[in-house]
Amino acid sequence: MRMWAICRRTRLNCGFTLLELLVVLAILGMVAAIAVPGAIRMIDAWQQRAVLDDIVIKVRSLPLEARRAGKPVVLDAADELRPAPWDVLELPAGWLADAERPLRIEANGACSEARLVFDVGRSRRILVVDAPFCDARWED
């Protein structure tokens, strides 16, 4: 039996009123207003964590690059002679890097101890590199 026939026979209004639809839309809007900012912050934190993990992987692979090229790799403060020593890490736009203790990787792949500082907006992270195997970890 068709729906309109049931509604006509029982004399009930079929469907939703405009007021009911507006109330449901208002409730959905409030839920979205509460949930969306938290979801956006969580996505930004995931993206930042992914970049931090990529930096650790790239630092750990630098001894291989130094052995392959046959010359040392140095990550320290930028100067006029070498304006971009950090290009080897391929940092995203907006990320700044500096070295409290410079990282020097010899041509044979041996690393010096280092403390590398990465600034992203309001957060600052320090990467500690242990000698001689370039074991990198984030300082808490």
Q: Going residue by residue through the chain (140 aa), what tens digit of pLDDT does each one get?
A: 455 555 555 555 678 899 999 999 999 999 999 999 999 999 988 998 998 999 999 999 999 988 998 989 888 876 544 446 778 888 888 888 888 898 999 999 899 999 999 888 788 899 999 988 889 999 87
The tokens for 110 are 């041996």
**The predicted structure's pLDDT at residue 41:** 92
Q: Domain residues of the chain, as ranges?
A: 22-139
How would you label 106-115 residue by residue, b for 16+ Cβ within 10 Å and e otherwise?
A: beebbbbebe
Comparing C-alpha atoms, which of 105, 26, 89, 16 is closest to residue 54?
Answer: 89
Comparing C-alpha atoms, which of 111, 106, 129 is closest to residue 56?
Answer: 129
Q: Which residues pair with 126 in a beta bridge?
A: 117
